[in-house]
Amino acid sequence: MFVWSKLTASRSADSWEERFADNTDGTLVITSFPGRKMVRLEFYSENQAPVKAAQKQYGGTTKRLKTQNWAAHASQTPPPVKVRDTFVVCAVKTDAEIEKARAKFPGREIIAVPADMAFGTGHHATTATVLRLLVDAAKPLQAGGKPWSMADLGCGSGILAIAAEKLGAKRVWGCDYDPAAVTISKENAERNGTLKARFTKVDVLKWEPKQTWDIVAANIFFDVLEAAFPQLVRSVAPGGVLMLSGILKSQAKACLAAGKRAGFVVEKVVTKGKWVTAMGTVK
């Protein structure tokens, strides 16, 4: 059994039902959460192709399930993700759980991102890679002793913005096209005590940056990256760093070429599985 999943605003639930109404290759399940303005979409199929097709068309994530163990799947908690010698991303929610994680991983900052929404817990190759690059890029800024800033474009769960504030960023801003992501990011920022981080609903394709940041991370789909390169380049402060992710290996050459035309100077490319992440400066 395979499943495609995506978190979206609850007001769009009807439109998603219509999109999958004639799809006989699987079953769409929409889960709502009391007190939240979002729903989780899950499309189950015995075949991988329909699930991958949904991901290609709508984004989201896919995974293979063990059909003989549904109860375990429902209650499974993803393992902690260690980021350099700096962070451990844990799927914990309460203060007690966070304190327990701190005791288990002394000397590391805990980033608490609950897994109940299955939304940006740091396990995806793109998020994990950008987290590591963010730690690396923050070191010289920390050593310089001057205030620095970070923008998280396509914030998802807010994990990158939260990490930036924990690394010492004085001005942190994240945005996402999905209002549900903005809501979750705010909740996670409060949970992690990173109250300087601000999150806004923004469509980067229509965005006109009014200020710049020392580090800009854009972990979004390659076609959005290609279309938004002019805005991305303008959002980076002089001498700053731009990180790009969400790019499949098959898309990387064309995507990075578009970035180069816009003024992105690639300095490092990391390939993890089928995903490519690039880091560099701007002209």
- The answer to whether the beta carbons of residues 173 and 197 sit under 8 Å apart is yes
User: Distance between CA atoms of 203 and 138, rounded to whole angstroms?
Assistant: 26
Percent of residues, the chain, with pLDDT higher than 70: 92
At residue 78, the pLDDT reads 74
At residue 132, the pLDDT reads 96
- Say which residue, 164 or 60, is predicted with more confidence: 164
The bridge status of strand 236-248 relative to strand 213-219 is parallel
Closest by Cα among 136, 152, 40, 128 to 80: 128
At residue 90, the pLDDT reads 92
φ and ψ of 210, to 5 deg: -100, -10
pLDDT band at 35 (very low <50, low <70, confident <90, very high): low
| Residue owning tokens 């192709």 | 49
pLDDT band at 16 (very low <50, low <70, confident <90, very high): confident
Q: Is the pLDDT of residue 74 over 80?
A: no
Lowest mean pLDDT among 60-74, 116-130, 187-201, 210-224: 60-74
66 burial (CB, 10 Å; 0-12 / 13-18 / 19+) is exposed
Lowest mean pLDDT among 28-37, 50-59, 246-255: 28-37
Average pLDDT over residues 138-154: 95
Average pLDDT over residues 232-250: 94
Per residue in 76-113, pLDDT (tens digit) is 567 899 999 999 999 898 999 999 999 999 999 999 99
The amino acid present at 257, given as its one-letter code, is A
